[in-house]
Chains A and B, each alone.
Chain A
Amino acid sequence: MLELLQRTLEGLLEAGPYALIGLGLTISFGVLRRINLAFGATALLAAYVGSWLHVRWGVPALGVWTAVIVITVLVGFYVEWMCFDIADDSVAGMRRQSSVALGLDIREASVLAASFALWMQIEQVAVNFQPNHLHPFPDLSSKHNFELGGIDLRPDRIFVFFLTSALIAGLAIWLQHSRLGLGIRALSSSQAAAQVCGFNILRLRYMGTAVSCALCGLASCAVLSMDGQVTPMFGMWVLIKGLTCALLGGLGSVRGVLGGAILLGITEAHAQSLWGPIGRDAATWGLLLLALLFQAYSLKHKFSHAKKV
């Protein structure tokens, strides 16, 4: 019983960074209307630069965190510009003529493919910049766990959990009560309606990109500081965790993403305890597959409902 509680608590503590990445991807999807596949690669490049600053120049943890967040945002804008703006312009003629009433968006497939290409490009830049497999990252982990009623707790995980929880709460309040938050939620709800209401869509898109990348950068720092290292697999890790949480949450709701992150964290922790690291990975991919099937089922249901109407 104690073992079960220990694993559940560990999973819950993992859920914080997962939720931040998932929220970043959800906001990005909301304002851009397509999944940014280069999201993880962006985090990888920023983490590599952070590691380089730390090792080569001895930059302390706070400076590295700040640099990683800023670089994630800058690389995010590069992706936005290269992939979403330029790819959009290649079919600009059709964009101008697309019917607002129908909410047509013929760009989605081409832009998704472009973001995949950007993923490969950024990952290659990162690997060429730092060719080794392991790179140190400022380590926040404590050598001493403390025990509470027979349960071992890592102070760094608790710190990260409370940090991410505070950020998520702040983000939720900002989205719910600020003017810009309303703009981002409205744009996520219907781009066509936002256009009709006179929203500055480009500005909101840039704002959404900045927020989503900053969240991703912050979550990356939190995770890497617990591990004390970064590997080339980190980009894929960020994308898969974020995508799973966002899809489990229905790609559009803060509460949904939180639920998805908790489900992912707890499932992974129990799978790891039962079947080791392979079981953990299998649980992640299994949940992602389930989330995709659920999304496909929802889409089919929506279309058949629309046909009946």
Chain B
Amino acid sequence: MLEIEEIACGYGKIEALRKVSLQANQNAVTCLLGPNGAGKTTLMMSLAGILKPTHGSIKFEGQNLIGLTPSQIVQRGLALVPENRLVFPALTVRENLMAGAYLRKDKPGIANDIEQQLHRFPRLHERIGQLAGTLSGGEQQMLAVGRALMSRPRLLMMDEPSVGLAPKVVAEIFGIIQKLHHEGTTIFLVEQNVHMAMKVAQHFYLLQQGRVTFSGTPDQLAGDDLVKRAYLAGHSAAA
């Protein structure tokens, strides 16, 4: 569904991504792991059209995304749940959801989808008229997911949805990811919380210093010595 081939992207002379190739399959959860500074967010920004890769291609359902604006990329069916949520703090929960459907024109469909998101996230329903800036971190994360779903994406990209959240809220967010997957949503997930990601993802990539250094299933990931040492210390005890 999503095919990334040898993309390179950087900040001036600093190369953040060095010929990264990976793919995300339809109706699956694909997870990209990596330490801080590995280039995960740069990759997400490139996919969303906010950063322009200097090399390579990004294809979504066969169509090249390189050179498209963020607006055109949302219209193609990709939606990003950014790192740190990035909700509109001065807008209400309802207005944030409406902003997610900004490029759509079907008013009845939008109203129906807002109801669906409120049904999916009952806590947002309770806070429908509240300013998003006053919500808790977990609620803002739910709102960011709901807002992204309002554009009816065929591929949902999530950049570290667990960052900065309490363990209980992280479990809740991953429960939502699992539910979205069961509903048939294709998800491309960037995470550092390997333990939680292993519960939802079917395929993993490891990004280190701008390069993909591992690609495989959860079982292969668990068996990889390097990954085990770096990310899964104590996993068996925790599991």
Contact = CB atoms under 8 A, between A and B. Distances in A.
A197 B50 CA distance: 11
B41 A195 contact: no
Contact of B102 (A93, A199, A252): A199
Contacts of B69: 200
B4 interface: no
Given A182-B102, A186-B102, A197 B51 contact: no
Given A183-B102, A186-B102, A196 B91 contact: no
B98 A182 contact: yes
Contacts of B103: 198
Contacts of B151: 197-198
Interface stretch (A95-103, A124-132, A236-244): A95-103
B87 to A, nearest CB: 6
Contact of B99 (A99, A100, A182): A182
Given A182-B95, A189-B88, A190-B86, A197 B45 contact: no
Contacts of A99: 41
B50 A198 contact: no
Interface in B69-109: 69-75, 80, 82-84, 86-91, 95, 98-100, 102-103
A100 B90 contact: no
B220 to A, nearest CB: 31
Contacts of B102: 179, 182-183, 186, 197-199
Given A179-B102, A183-B102, A198-B74, A192 B12 contact: no
B41 A199 contact: no
Contacts of A192: 82, 86
A118 B48 CA distance: 35
Contacts of B152: none
Interface string B147-173: 100010000000000000000000000
Contact of A97 (B11, B48, B72): B11
Contacts of B41: 99, 101
Nearest to B147: A197
B153 to A, nearest CB: 10
A75 to B, nearest CB: 29
A42 interface: no
A7 interface: no
Contact of A196 (B51, B52, B70, B72): B70
Interface in A84-98: 93, 96-97
A5 interface: no
Determine the main DSSP class of A at the interface with B. Answer: helix
A188 interface: yes
Contact of B71 (A188, A190, A193, A198): A198
Of A182, A190, A193, most B-chain CB atoms within 10 Å:
A193
A280 interface: no
Contacts of B72: 198
A196 B88 CA distance: 11
Interface residue range, chain A? 20 to 34
A196 B84 CA distance: 12
Contacts of A179: 102
Contacts of A101: 41, 82-84, 86
* B interface majority secondary structure: loop
Contact of A186 (B45, B71, B80, B99): B99
Nearest to A253: B90
A273 B70 CA distance: 56
B73 to A, nearest CB: 7
Interface in B41-71: 41, 45, 48, 50-52, 69-71
A197 B100 contact: yes
Nearest to A176: B95
Contacts of A205: none
A99 B44 CA distance: 12
A121 to B, nearest CB: 32
Interface string A103-136: 0000000000000000000000000000000000
A211 to B, nearest CB: 18
Contacts of A183: 99, 102
Interface in A176-218: 179, 182-183, 185-186, 188-190, 192-200
For the complex of A and B, list the 4 residue pairs with the smallest distance between their C-beta atoms, beginning with the closest.
A198-B74, A189-B90, A189-B88, A97-B11
Interface of B: 11-12, 41, 45, 48, 50-52, 69-75, 80, 82-84, 86-91, 95, 98-100, 102-103, 147, 151
21 contacts: A97-B12, A100-B86, A179-B102, A182-B95, A182-B99, A189-B88, A190-B87, A192-B86, A193-B86, A193-B87, A193-B88, A195-B70, A196-B50, A197-B147, A198-B73, A198-B102, A198-B103, A199-B71, A199-B102, A200-B71, A252-B90
Given A190-B86, A196-B86, 12 more contacts: A100-B82, A101-B41, A101-B83, A179-B102, A185-B91, A185-B95, A189-B90, A196-B48, A197-B74, A197-B102, A198-B73, A198-B74
